[in-house]
Structure 1
Amino acid sequence: MVDPGSYQDDRPAVAAQAPGGPRAVPAFAAGPVCGVAVAVGLVLLAVAGQFGYFGDELYFVATGKYQWAWGYADNPWLLPWLAARVDALFPGSWFALRVIPLLMTSAGVVVAGLIAREFGGGRKAQVITAAAYALSWQILASGHVLATSTVDPFLWVVVGWLVVRWARTRSDWALVWAGVVTAIAMQGKFLIAFFWIGIVVGALAVGPRGLLRRPALWVAGVITVAVTIPTLVWQVDNDWPYLLMQQVIKEQNDRLLGGTLGTIPLAVVMAGLPIGAFLLCHGLYQLLRAPDLRPYRFLGVAVVVVTVVILVAANRYYYVAGMYPLVFAASAVKVEQGAIARWWRWVPTWPVFALSVPIAVYLTLPVRPADGFTGVDLVDFQASGSLGWPDLADQTAEVYRGLPSRADTVVMGDSYWQASALDYYGRERGLPAAYGPERGYWFTGRPADSTRQVVYVGGDEKWLTQFFGRVERVGAVTLPQTTAKTANQGVPIYVLNDPVAPWPELWNRMHRP
């Protein structure tokens, strides 16, 4: 019987070492693993120019260029900073912006293969893990856009690999580098803190408890905190809007995606059907139960803990995507050993992988026409969130220029996407700086006290009458290039006059997290 505390010292786990040191790992299957990474990169490159900026991309570009700060209501500073740097080099190029997620997704494929190698997986296990990661619907879809859901999972994968490597070698440098990567991840989203909570709980529950006594772990923590101080100060100064946003996100998911009951099924499905879903379930079981994976069992516990925390705190299924390679790799190692049930032995085979490629690409990437789902009760999320931003700015500018008087007039977008579009595209069309009552845009500033008139894009007339004495709908955005359901098709444009309260009070009342 195995003593649960037998892996709590600071030596490499017995099951994972050879005489004289850590267990040697198989050779890295560089050719096929990197081949999968290159293939994914080429596919993403082929679709990188589709449609236009996605709403979140536009938000990052606009805030990074015009409203940069150490923090925002929904994310820290890293993505706006990156987006603004790319826009400075390649103005108006969403194609250039998407090189970043393309490279991260391709690199994630390689790191996924390296995790399987650390688990003792040979060529087959490494290729299965890399290919399953590449065909994960969530990973492939997020690889098309620069978003927190792209950057965050990639950095989780790198941290996961470094922690697995430490578990095999006990190299403290692995922990220090994990701290550096964690510090970077915290500048994009704070979620990786959940991953470390899971790792700590797993180490306490099943070992190696010596992990918590390693000075390198505390060095990693100091690095993370030191780098994160500026964005934490911003959150404190603004009463922690990030925490409020997590509650808003949870409520949105409860309403739109089935809440807690829908989170786990969606996470499994978005791992990819059928391969990713099977590897996910099988791999978690193996990570928790397989004797030869005993040194890494704490990571299986971490997966469970993180999933429970996310179910309680946020309910976004894709928040767990960064842990996919850990369980994919555990499953792939057992597949390579032939330790899988006969009834699903056919799943991780090359014909199934080959058939999964067109399915994954069609369902997750913008290879369809923008109106490809017209006639059915589905919304193409990528097309919907990417089409028509210049049109929205054009038609708003036309309304603005047609006003009898533009003195003391501002423009506002109802959603943070619409405010971003007006801010980014509007200035070259003669519009003033844009404002918005939603999410991060509310924190970028309010209209001047002298403002008497607002050109308002989006929103609901009844809601607006709470704040203005005169609400006149003067038009609606039309996108002649598509009949698809999009974020901009038919969006109303209002002219608002006679604010019912002074702007400091009015702005607080209009705020929508």
Structure 2
Amino acid sequence: MTAVVPVRVEPEVIRDTSPTFALRGVALIATLVGVVLTATASRYDFFGDELYFLSAGRRLDYTYADQGVVVPFFAHLADLIAPGSLTALRFPAVVMCVGAVVVAALIAYELRGSHRAQLLAAFTYGTSSLIATQVALSTFSFDATFTAVITWLFIRWVRTREDRLLIVAGLVAALDMQVKWMIPLVWACLGVGVVLCGPREILRRRALWIATGILASAFIPILYWQSQHNWPQLAMGSIIGAEQDATGYGPIGFIPQWLALAGFLGALLLALGFWGVYKLESLRPYRFVAVALVVMTAFVIATHGRPYYPTGFFPAMFALGAVCLMQFERKRWMNLALVPIIGLTVITFAGSLTGLPLPQHWRTQTHTAIDLGVRSALFGTTNWDRMVAGVAAGYDTLTPGEKEHAVIMAQGYWQAGAVEQFGGRYDLPETYSPSRGFGFFGPPPDTTTTVIYVGLNTAEPELRTRFDRVERLGGLDDPIGIPGIDRMVAVWKLQGPKQSWPALWDSMTTLYFDLGHWQDPRATTRPTR
């Protein structure tokens, strides 16, 4: 009888077939984007808001009239490290751009996308027109990346169910509250997406409500400041909407601008992302992201907001689109179709970095606010030094006794920021402005008897209602210049304020910013302090 020898059966080795993170490729794309953006960061002159952030950074506070402390803090840091350097000023925005590129790839990885999908998502964001918008120092520079990080954390929670991710998302949202106050809307839109599409299990997680509480607690000091200053942020919504209507065709022009920010390849991936979350079983758990983008876009259109407000969701949508596109990677027609789209994307990206701003001698005269918006994009805002030189020339006409109790005042907060930035070479006194956030820095001291005022040349009638003596000292009116900078600009000498400075300031401060080419019928000069 033959003995039966038991045969040992080795257990089957279960290999993880899920993709790994394309670390080297993503690192290469992110590094190239960072190097290129840093090298070209100074091609545009200062934008008006950047000058304001520098001024706000010189007056650091825990919050401001229309944004948090983060952007002024980094502006202040750049001003300390490398005064006057555009590259240093914009480097934090470059870092945020690079971060968004990496997050787009991380989201593709969480969606179980292949290396190609991860690299495509990173490449798409890194070559989109959003980069050109995000690289200037602004609240959007930080807000877009923080929104992308929050979305990534929600997507990772769907895959892993690790509740600590929700807590981290709440902390990131609280940090974003110190940048721009759009993040509660982002949080709410994600919530609407979850309620409509799931996974509704997240609503039962205590971690989500702790995270929401963290975000809400970050809002408390901001609400206190707003309540002490007559709620300026509430009034800003309608004013920004009117500006958007004037310079960007309002809701009619929203979607074309929105798609232009995505770029050729980005627009394709947006479409595929929407298609994929409803058609592909593997992507359906992430439908809430697409719904959140739709809800936020609809809200921004309805309130006449800026086209870039909802684009913090673009990294996630690019990742969804890239994963979806890989479903067709073996189809020859798809590969052939991608070639011209990628080519156009690269050409557009390279062209925007090397061809813009256009040569200044190509400028033409602006007639409308839309012209002004196009001019800013194609040529930037230039000749700040000419305006400041005009202010200095006016200041030099004062006697030594007048200079002892004189200040500079600017009609617009851009002009005020420019005077502070470039006025040091002329030894100008303190600068004040009743415009927007600058107005909340306070009025001139009570000892002020003489003001050198710079503003649009249409401001004189109003000035005569507030001062006993108004004398025009000079001006700038370059036909192809920019209103408020080197066109339609006048400099006055003001004396004899008809009220005390605190009372006069209360009547002068306004959130309305006169662009020189339009008049907002909803604008008000009511006290905003």
TM-score category of the 2 structures, normalised to the smaller one: 0.7 to 0.9
**Superposed CA offset, 1:301-349 (max 9, x none):** 1111111222233521000111112221111111111189998765544
Instruction: Tell me by how many angstroms 1:450 deviates.
Output: 4.2
Superposition map of 1:182-193 within 5 A: 182-193=173-184
Q: What is the total number of aligned residue pairs between the two structures?
A: 486
2:455 matches 1:458? yes
1:406 partner SS? helix
* More displaced 10-residue stretch of structure 1: 467-476 or 27-36: 467-476
Query: Per-residue displacement from partner, 1:367-412 (whole Å, max 9, x unpaired)?
Result: 4444164248654425765423344333312321221332432211
- Counterpart in 2 of 1:164? 155
Matched, 1:78 2:78: no
What residue in structure 2 maps to residue 133 of structure 1?
125
Q: Which residue of 2 aligns with 1:296?
A: 286
**TM-score (normalizing by structure 2):** 0.84
Match of 2:395 in 1: 400
Cα distance between partner residues in 2 of 1:356 and 1:82: 31
Deviation of residue 473 (structure 1)?
2.7
Q: CA deviation at 1:166?
A: 0.6
- Alignment counterpart, residue 27 of structure 1, candidates 16, 20, 23: 20
Mapped pair 1:503 → 2:496: no
User: Helix, strand or coil: the match of 1:497?
Assistant: strand
Whether 2:203 is the aligned partner of 1:212: answer yes
Return the offset for 1:107: 1.7
Structure 1, unaligned runs of 5 or more: 1-20
Partner of 1:414: 411
- The equivalent residue for 1:103 is 95
Select which of 346, 370, 381 maps to 1:357: 346
Cα 1:305–1:143 shift into 2, 3 Å: closer
CA distance in structure 1 between the aligned counterparts of 2:190 and 2:330, rounded to whole angstroms: 27
- Shifted more, 328-337 versus 277-286: the winner is 277-286
Cα distance change on mapping 1:486 and 1:340 into 2, 3 Å: farther
1:15 corresponds to: none
String of CA shifts for 1:483-503, please: whole Å, max 9, x gaps. 664752233222223334333
- Does 2:427 match 1:430? yes
CA distance in 1, matches of 2:452, 2:308: 36
Checking the alignment, whether the CA contact within 8 Å between 2:328 and 2:334 is kept in structure 1 is no
Query: Which residue pairs with 1:221 in the alignment?
Result: 212
The residue that corresponds to 2:135 in the other structure is 144
Q: Call closer, same or farther: CA 1:419–1:203 in 2, change over 3 Å.
A: same
The separation in 1 between residues aligned to 2:108 and 2:165, in whole angstroms, is: 17
Amino acid in the other structure paired with 2:247 = L
Q: Is the 1:207–1:298 contact (alpha carbons within 8 Å) kept by the matching residues of 2?
A: yes
Paired amino acid for 2:252: L
**1:85-484 matched pairs, under 5 angstroms:** 85-137=77-129, 139-272=130-263, 274-338=264-328, 346-349=336-339, 351-363=340-352, 367-371=356-360, 373-375=362-364, 379-381=374-376, 386-404=381-399, 405-427=402-424, 429-459=426-456, 460=458, 461-477=460-476
Q: Which whole-Å deviations, capped at 9, do the CAs of 1:148-167 have from their partners, x for residues lacking one? A: 12111011111111111111
Change over 3 Å in CA distance of 1:366–1:238 after alignment to 2: farther
Aligned to 1:492: 490
The DSSP-based 3-state class of the residue aligned with 2:137 is coil
Q: 1:69 to 1:52 in 2, by over 3 A?
A: same
SS in 1 for 2:140: helix
Of 143-152 and 373-382, the range deviating more from structure 2: 373-382
Q: Distance in 2 between matches of 1:483 and 1:358?
A: 30
Cα–Cα, structure 1 residues 376 and 362, in superposed 2: closer, same or farther, change >3 Å? farther
Kindly indicate whether the alpha-carbon contact (under 8 Å) linking 1:419 and 1:434 is maintained by their aligned counterparts in 2: yes
Which of 17, 24, 36 is the aligned partner of 2:29? 36
Distance in 2 of aligned mates of 1:24 and 1:236: 55
The verdict on how the C-alpha distance between 1:30 and 1:373 changes in structure 2, with shifts beyond 3 A counting, is farther
Of 75-84 and 444-453, the range deviating more from structure 2: 444-453
Distance of 1:467 and 1:357 partners within structure 2 = 55
Q: 1:468 to 1:382 in 2, by over 3 A?
A: farther
Bigger CA radius of gyration: 2
Aligned-residue RMSD, C-alpha = 2.8
AA aligned to 2:376 is: F
SS class of match (1:62): helix
What's the CA shift for 1:221? 2.2
Is the partner of 2:403 in helix, strand or coil? coil
CA gap of 1:99–1:465, structure 2 versus 1, over 3 A, is same
Letter in 1 for 2:492: Y
Q: State the alpha-carbon separation in 1 of the partners of residues 215 and 502 from structure 2.
A: 36
Residues 108 and 245 from structure 1, CA distance in 2 versus in 1: closer, same or farther, beyond 3 angstroms? same
Alignment of 1:47 onto 2:40: yes
CA distance in 2, matches of 1:112, 1:330: 9
SS at match of 2:472: strand
Secondary structure of 2:445 counterpart: coil
Q: Classify 1:55/1:352 alpha carbon distance in 2 versus 1 (closer, same or farther; 3 Å).
A: same
2:51 and 2:417 in contact (8 A); partners too: yes
Provide the residue aligned with 1:3 in structure 2. none
> How far apart, CA to CA, are the structure 1 residues paired with 2:461 and 2:275?
52
Deviation at 1:47, TM superposition (A): 1.3
Q: 1:169 to 1:442 in 2, by over 3 A?
A: same
- Give the letter aligned to residue 30 of structure 2: A
Q: Quick one: distance in 2 between partners of 1:365 and 1:250?
A: 32
Corresponding residue for residue 57 of structure 1: 50
Please report the TM-score for the alignment, with normalisation by the length of structure 1.
0.87
- Separation in structure 2 between the aligned mates of residue 341 and residue 251 of structure 1, nearest angstrom: 47
Give the distance between the partners of 1:381 and 1:105, measured in 2 at CA: 21
Q: Give the letter for the 1:411 counterpart.
A: I
For residues 268 and 242 of structure 1, what CA distance do their matches in structure 2 show? Answer: 28
Change in 2 beyond 3 A, CA 1:391/1:343: same
